[in-house]
Amino acid sequence: MKKIITYGTFDIFHSGHLELLKRIKELGDYVIVGVSTDEFNLTEKNKISYFPYKDRKAIIEALKYVDLVIPEESWEQKIADIKKYDIDIFVIGNDWETKFDYLKDYGIEVIYLERTPNISTSTVKKELKYK
C-alpha cells in the first residue's frame, strides 16, 4: 500500500483544492491530509482563515479522495508524521518547489504538483471583497 501525505489550510474550499486532492489520490492508495490549525495559521503563516479549523477539517474529511485528516500544528511535525504513518510520498503544490526536498532524506518521494490555473483562495478572497 502506497501512503501519501499532504498539508494545507484549505480555506474557502474551491475546485483547485478538489483537483489537487484528486491528483494526489491517483498517486497512491491512502491519502493523509494535514489541515493547518487556526493557531498554526496565525502564528506561523501570519494569516487568519475565513473558516475555522473544525469546518475546514470536516470538508476535507467528506471527500472520497481523502482517507485520514490530521491537524497541522507546526512545520516540524512533517518528519514525525512521515515516520508515524509510514509515508511513501509527500505531495504539495509547486508554489513550494524545493522547500521540502529535505524530506527525501527520510526515504520518501517528494512531489510538487502544478496548481490548477486561475483559481486560488487568495484570488477568491480578492474577488469577494469587490462584490
Strand, coil or helix: what is 85? coil
- Would you mind telling me the total number of residues written for the chain in this entry? 131
Reply yes or no on whether 47 is catalytic: yes
Reply yes or no on whether 45 is catalytic: yes
State pTM to two decimals.
0.89
- The set of long-range contacts for 71-76, using a CB threshold of 8 Å and a minimum separation of 24, is 71/34, 71/35, 71/36, 71/37, 71/40, 72/7, 72/8, 72/34, 72/35, 72/36, 72/37, 72/40, 73/37, 73/39, 73/40, 74/40, 74/44, 75/44
Nearest Cα residue to 89 out of 112, 64, 73: 112
Q: To 10 degrees, the CA torsion angle through 88, 86, 100, 119?
A: 70
Catalytic choice (2, 22, 47, 54) = 47
Catalytic choice (2, 45, 54, 84) = 45
Residue 83 has pLDDT above 90, yes or no: yes
Residue 128 has pLDDT above 90, yes or no: no
Lowest mean pLDDT among 70-74, 85-89, 115-119: 115-119
The residue ranking higher by pLDDT, 122 or 61, is 61
Strand, coil or helix: what is 114? coil
Q: Provide the pLDDT for residue 12.
A: 85
Say yes or no: domain 3-129 is CATH 3.40.50.620: yes
